[in-house]
Chain A
Amino acid sequence: MSAPVIQESAEALARAVATGDRSATEVTGAFLAQADRTAPQLGTYLHRMAESALRDAEAIDRRRAKGERLGPLAGVPVALKDNICVRGVPTTCGSKILEGYRPPYDAHVVERLRAADAVIVGKTNCDEFAMGSSTENSAYQVTRNPWNLDCVPGGSSGGSAATVAALEAPLSLGSDTGGSVRQPAAFCGVYGLKPTYGAVSRYGLVAFASSLDQIGPFARSARDTALLQSAICGRDSRDTTSRADARPISLDTLERDLTGLRLGVPRAILDEAGEGLAPSIRATFESAISAYERAGASIVDVSLPHARYAIATYYLIAPAEASSNLARYDGVRYGVRRSESDLRGMYEATRGAGFGREVKRRILLGTYALSAGYYDAYYLRAQKVRTLIRKDFLDALALSDALLLPITPTPAFKIAEKSDDPLAMYLSDIFSIPASLAGVPALSFPASFDAAGLPIGLQLVGRPFEEETMLRVARAYENEHDAASRVPAIALADAGGAR
């Protein structure tokens, strides 16, 4: 008997289902059973789709029995962050204002997953409207880190990261506006990719900050990340920013060695985190540079002189766009309404009762930054600084093929440790936000563990639409290190949920 089903890669599972070595029903059933056991402890799901998942799996098995050729994700369970619409399935974005909402359509990525014969298993917990770095801003529940249940899984896509780490699903999707895929991936010891802006259609992704939002995959290996990204990328006429430049990634290319590859290291950015940078993160970063030198890459010193302004820039642009996008929650067409006798009172009461504190804070901040007299000083100025930040990245990536930098200043922090200090929470995004503003692709990969057994991730940043290069660089690391193959105790059945 080989490894248990839930420890297999998505690639191996899809192959087994396509060749008939395993049935989609068996595979789906195994992951659903794991989630039955661990999801209640971890709080990973807001809505599970066990029944429809098994129905979908049976349909895939019937098609195979008829001799049909199956897609690249045949029978592979995939979990979705709860801001991705599935027709008829509750989609709340972790917000009370959308309690009970069932979208009347599927997101583009959902159509693509179904076309690839993946099986959608549920909607994962997240910070309300994807605003947060710990998933503590969900209006519904806390999600726990599978490596230490007292710690946060990161955010905002914390449920999607934790469910893959805990082997409840081999793959999941999240969304990344300022780091919401990469940071939870690092905290949970899995891969998390923010594709190039424009690589994946956002049709059916609930909008937060439209000039930044990207849907991105979580997986437990570089190859599985590539497999999922290949399934969802490409042009869709319903998102005008989506581009045909985004092409499927060749798994063969990921196996090429790094001889001749130029890895850019923007070392000065480490100083931006100051005292906040954990020694374990710095040590992992330095040892990865040595590992890459040994692997044949040449290390190039680069600089990102405006990256230090990224947080200030982001916390003007993202709330400004959010305040506009979230104007649609007015109690008229969907979601929850608070009745009042006049229209304006109904709007105000509905939004006041339906949004949580962090969302209100960002709406207020964004409205302020866009209001008369402040637009030029705040929003417009931030957009100009954004131009400088993007140019920094394109310059650095002209001298190198990919950049290596940390993704988080510390490993996962404790639940409630930072939830009372919004600015402290924002500052922890220092390494993830610059690439978001630049619109370039960025990947968080599992690199090591600290002394307390918490995962440490590192980040690769690539040229626009060169996700393949980053994944090849991550794959080379994976070949020499075991961080990606470790499994948290809670994911093993005989651990009985012990911490």
Chain B
Amino acid sequence: MPIDVSVVRKVAALARLRIEPSEEERYARELGGILGFVEQLQALDVAGIEPTSQVTEGARPALRPDEVRACDAREEALAAAPERDGDYFKVPQVV
């Protein structure tokens, strides 16, 4: 299934992924190959078949009480940020 470089650009933008222009052709070719391969699923009749999103479906979801618990890793978590400002994660100006 041929995939155009414009499709690669569009999908990369949706995924917030910078693709070098020199790489676009290659990704287009590889994606086209894989999408051509998965075309075989179109031949199957899946009418009336329920989709499986989790194989534990049917089992009761295991929930725990929604309650505040202590976290002793606040400083470690903040320290992992590429850029911080006090107790905040810092990003480039948005507005």
- Chain A residues with CB under 8 Å of chain B are 87-88, 101-102, 104-105, 197-198, 211, 235, 237-238, 240-243, 306, 309, 311-313, 315-316, 323, 327, 330-337, 339-349, 351-353, 355, 360-361, 363-365, 367-368, 371, 377-378, 380-388, 390, 422-423, 426, 438-439
Residues of A within 8 A of B86 (CB): none
- Partner among A323, A333, A347, A380 whose Cβ is within 8 Å of the Cβ of B80: A333
Report the Cα distance A243→B54, complex, angstroms: 13
Known: A197-B54, A348-B17, A349-B18. 8 other contacts (CB 8 A): A309-B40, A316-B38, A352-B18, A364-B17, A378-B38, A381-B42, A384-B46, A388-B49
A388 CA to B55 CA, complexed, in Å? 12
Tell me the minimal C-beta distance from B43 to chain A in angstroms.
9
**In whole angstroms, how far apart are the Cα atoms of A237 and B52 in the complex?**
23
**Contacts of B25-41 to chain A: CB distance below 8 A:** 27, 30-31, 33-35, 37-38, 40-41
- Do A352 and B73 touch across chains, with their CB atoms under 8 A apart? no
B85 within 8 A of A: no
Would you give the shortest CB distance from A319 to chain B, in whole angstroms?
9
Contact A315 B37 (CB under 8 A): yes
Q: Min CB distance, A316 to chain B, in Å?
A: 6
Bound CA span A217–B40, Å: 34
Interface residues of B (CB under 8 A from A): 7-8, 11-12, 14-20, 27, 30-31, 33-35, 37-38, 40-42, 44, 46, 49-56, 59, 61-64, 73, 76-77, 80-83, 89, 91-94
Using known A-B contacts A360-B17, A422-B34, determine if residue A240 contacts B61 with beta carbons closer than 8 Å: yes
The answer to whether A387 and B17 touch (CB under 8 A), given A104-B80, A240-B63, A368-B11, is no
Interface centre among B15, B37, B62, B63 (most CB of A within 10 A): B15
Cβ contacts under 8 Å, A342 to chain B = 92-93
CB contacts (< 8 Å) of A331 on chain B: these are: 82
Once the chains bind, are A241 and B54 in contact (CB under 8 Å)? yes
Q: Roughly how many angstroms separate A364 CA and B52 CA in the complex, as a whole number? A: 23
B14 adjacent to A237 (CB under 8 Å): no
User: What is the bound-complex CA distance between A367 and B17, given in angstroms?
Assistant: 11
- Cβ–Cβ < 8 Å partners of B49 in chain A: 384-385, 387-388
Q: A364-B11, A367-B15, A368-B7 are in contact. Are A243 and B62 (CB under 8 A)?
A: yes
